[in-house]
Amino acid sequence: DSREYLCSNRFTIADICVSYAIYLAKTLQIEEAFKPNIKRWTDMLFNRESFKRAIARRYVSPE
């Protein structure tokens, strides 16, 4: 499948929800079962500047 996003031709909450679950799987190193199209899709999402900023904020001290 060559779709860029899950539910439409734009980024939606579905992409956020599913990509976070896949991000968790990657951090637990259990992503080996992902199909090539899932890897392509998550690589595209994980390279978004907004995703990078969100992950970076996750590790910032609240102080």
Give the pLDDT band of residue 51 (cuts 50, 70, 90): confident
Q: Is residue 60 part of a domain?
A: yes
From CA 39, how far away is CA 31, in angstroms rounded? 9
pLDDT digits (tens, 9 = 90+) for 12-49: 999 989 988 888 888 888 878 788 888 888 889 889 99
Residue 14 lies in a domain: no
**Cα distance between residue 48 and residue 9, in whole Å:** 16
Which pLDDT does position 30 carry in this prediction?
84
Ordered DSSP codes for 26-52: HHTT--TT--HHHHHHHHHHHTSHHHH
Give the domain range for residue 41. Answer: 31-63
Q: Does a structural domain hold residue 43?
A: yes
Q: Which amino acid is at 58?
A: R
